[in-house]
Amino acid sequence: MKTPGLLKDLQQAVGTAHVLTRDSADLSAYETDWRKRHTGRALAVVRPGNTEEVAQVVRLCAQAGASLVPQGGNTGLVVGSVPDTLGRQVVLNSTRMNQVLALDAANLTLTVQAGCALQAAQNAAEQAGLLLPLSLAAEGSCTVGGNLATNAGGTQVLRFGNARELCLGLEVVTPQGEVWNGLSGLRKDNTGYDLRHLYIGSEGTLGVITAATLKLYPQPVAQLTAWAAVPSLQAAVDLLGLAQRHLGAGLSGFELMGQFALGLVDKHFPALRVPLWQTQPHCVLLENSDNESEAHARERFETLLEIALAQGCATDAVVAESLAQSRNLWHIRESISMAQAEEGLNIKHDISLPVSRIPDFCAETDALLARTLPGVRLVNFGHLGDGNLHYNVQAPQGVDPKQFLGQHETAINALVFDAVARFNGSISAEHGIGSLKAHTLPHYKSPVALALMRSIKQALDPQNIMNPGRVLAQNTD
């Protein structure tokens, strides 16, 4: 690798000011991942201003044999967008490419550059009276390119699908530095292999997403939230089925929260006044997005909850009286992560299962954990409507969390993931693989699928310069 030559070439391609190196700038924000689990060392951070510059940067790196790490807001949770420690990778940061390129109200589409922050894209839609229904905790910092590269999930998947389902078209720079303009506002296009879906979720290992066309929806007229205590996980699953029948596509959120998780919120954020959590093992939060009126949304919720109470799949329930109350209920749900952090380090899992199997999965895995590690505490919550649980494991009361993690993390991960596999679930529902799970994946993914993935990677990136070692580990066991 001819480093000095490459740096000069990169400066020529994007302008000296946009090639950051250790000598001239503090690179820590680009080199350390969001959860601060890993700090790498970049040869340079390059910040191109447009697609043609991205293509040039990729070509220069390919010529020099330097590998690239595509990076958006760097908010990923699986160490997929920071360089390794060898100091030879080029971080390709998209955040200068943050423009909204087009909004087509009649076609219900929004086209943005990859580096556009998700919130900026949401705002552009909202200004036109429309809804971009991708929403997640990091939306102020994360980019649309990163959302698509990792197929982000979030809180509205139940109604609108993952990031993948919201994308109609992509522009991509290939590992050879060619530009594929697949920016389409088309809802139907059967002209060959679906390259769009191949790049979505490939975590920057097959090319660089530089722009995207996203689906928009009319804004709902009213959004109402309800909260119910449920006597069991099976009751929560039954309530989900009832809600799907009665609210149809109006049901835009169905979140499950275990009693211990809510207890942590109550303990660390008492001002939030968590409702109904003490009587039953779980609560659920339901959201109804109505295109008619708030009164209609309320009437539908009340009918649903009456039936649920009569059938015994909820024992108590409240419907938010105001937007402020709705927001507060969501705020409680979103405070679980913070509350568990207050309680101390824990082992996080982002798993998914067929919805129907969640009660049995939890019964079996809870018992297995309790038997293996007596006193262990479970912070179990998540997007039940999507079959997605954040099934997090906290040290027993009084045990030092750091020591507990050091001793038991590997075994606990194996226990949980083995259980997930027995129930035909996924070890990564919405966070992806990155480098964090690249060595775990081969234990749980079908060998045939892995071989197909390797063939595709080899075919599209034979030089292995695009985010090497992510998703597919370089030295498998």
> Which member of 21, 41, 444, 464 binds a copy of itself (CB under 8 A)?
444
159: tokens are 């109604």
Non-local (6+) Cβ contacts of 187 within 8 A are 168
Closest CA to 468 of 430, 435, 426, 431: 435
Establish if 223 lies at the interface with a copy of itself (CB under 8 A). Answer: no
Minimum distance from residue 310 beta carbon to a copy of itself (Å): 19
> Which member of 71, 94, 113, 174 binds a copy of itself (CB under 8 A)?
174
> Which member of 386, 394, 417, 419 binds a copy of itself (CB under 8 A)?
386
Q: Which is nearer to a copy of itself, 73 or 201 (CB)?
A: 201
Establish if 184 lies at the interface with a copy of itself (CB under 8 A). Answer: yes
Q: Which is nearer to a copy of itself, 266 or 294 (CB)?
A: 294
Minimum distance from residue 266 beta carbon to a copy of itself (Å): 28
Establish if 250 lies at the interface with a copy of itself (CB under 8 A). Answer: yes
Using CB under 8 A, which residues numbered 366 to 385 contact a copy of itself?
Answer: 383
Q: Find the Cα–Cα–Cα–Cα dihedral 393, 399, 401, 406, rounded to 10°.
A: -90
Establish if 186 lies at the interface with a copy of itself (CB under 8 A). Answer: yes
Q: Which residues pair with 347 in a beta bridge?
A: 393
Instruction: Give, in order, the Cα–Cα distances in Å from 227 to each of 47, 157, 220, 277.
Output: 45, 19, 20, 10
121: tokens are 């894209």
Q: Which is nearer to a copy of itself, 50 or 176 (CB)?
A: 176
Using CB under 8 A, which residues numbered 452 to 471 contact a copy of itself?
Answer: 452-453, 455-460, 471
Establish if 188 lies at the interface with a copy of itself (CB under 8 A). Answer: yes
Using CB under 8 A, which residues numbered 323 to 352 contact a copy of itself?
Answer: 352
Using CB under 8 A, which residues numbered 27 to 86 contact a copy of itself?
Answer: none
Establish if 400 lies at the interface with a copy of itself (CB under 8 A). Answer: no
Considering only 57-65, 149-157, 363-371, 402-410, which stretch makes contact with a copy of itself by CB under 8 A?
Answer: 149-157
> Which member of 4, 17, 26, 191 binds a copy of itself (CB under 8 A)?
191
Minimum distance from residue 49 beta carbon to a copy of itself (Å): 21
Establish if 201 lies at the interface with a copy of itself (CB under 8 A). Answer: yes
Distance, CA of 207 to CA of 7 (rounded, Å): 21
Distance, CA of 350 to CA of 358 (rounded, Å): 14
Using CB under 8 A, which residues numbered 252 to 291 contact a copy of itself?
Answer: 289-291
Minimum distance from residue 97 beta carbon to a copy of itself (Å): 19
Minimum distance from residue 344 beta carbon to a copy of itself (Å): 27
> Which member of 8, 22, 96, 246 binds a copy of itself (CB under 8 A)?
246
Angle, CA 128 vertex, CA 123 and CA 131 arms, to 5°? 60
Q: How many residues bind a copy of itself (CB under 8 A)?
A: 95
Judge contact between 436 and 469, C-beta under 8 A.
no
Closest CA to 206 of 388, 438, 455, 426: 455
The tally of CA atoms less than 13 A away on the side-chain side of residue 385 is 28
Query: Is 402 exposed, middle or buried, given 0-12, 13-18 or 19+ CB atoms closer than 10 A?
Result: exposed
Distance, CA of 358 to CA of 390 (rounded, Å): 12
The tally of CA atoms less than 13 A away on the side-chain side of residue 370 is 7
Considering only 42-50, 117-125, 176-184, 321-329, which stretch makes contact with a copy of itself by CB under 8 A?
Answer: 176-184
| Residue 282, H or E segment | strand 282-290
Q: Which is nearer to a copy of itself, 48 or 154 (CB)?
A: 154
> Which member of 5, 87, 140, 354 binds a copy of itself (CB under 8 A)?
354
Non-local (6+) Cβ contacts of 467 within 8 A are 67, 68, 69, 70, 80, 203, 204, 205
Angle, CA 363 vertex, CA 361 and CA 369 arms, to 5°? 95
Q: Which is nearer to a copy of itself, 291 or 407 (CB)?
A: 291
Closest CA to 224 of 205, 204, 250, 260: 250
Establish if 149 lies at the interface with a copy of itself (CB under 8 A). Answer: no
Establish if 426 lies at the interface with a copy of itself (CB under 8 A). Answer: yes
Distance, CA of 207 to CA of 149 (rounded, Å): 9
Would you give the binding string for a copy of itself spanning residues 4-33, x where CB under 8 A is met? ------------------------------
Establish if 424 lies at the interface with a copy of itself (CB under 8 A). Answer: yes
Minimum distance from residue 68 beta carbon to a copy of itself (Å): 18
> Which member of 83, 153, 258, 468 binds a copy of itself (CB under 8 A)?
153
Minimum distance from residue 308 beta carbon to a copy of itself (Å): 15
Closest CA to 134 of 114, 100, 158: 158
Establish if 441 lies at the interface with a copy of itself (CB under 8 A). Answer: yes
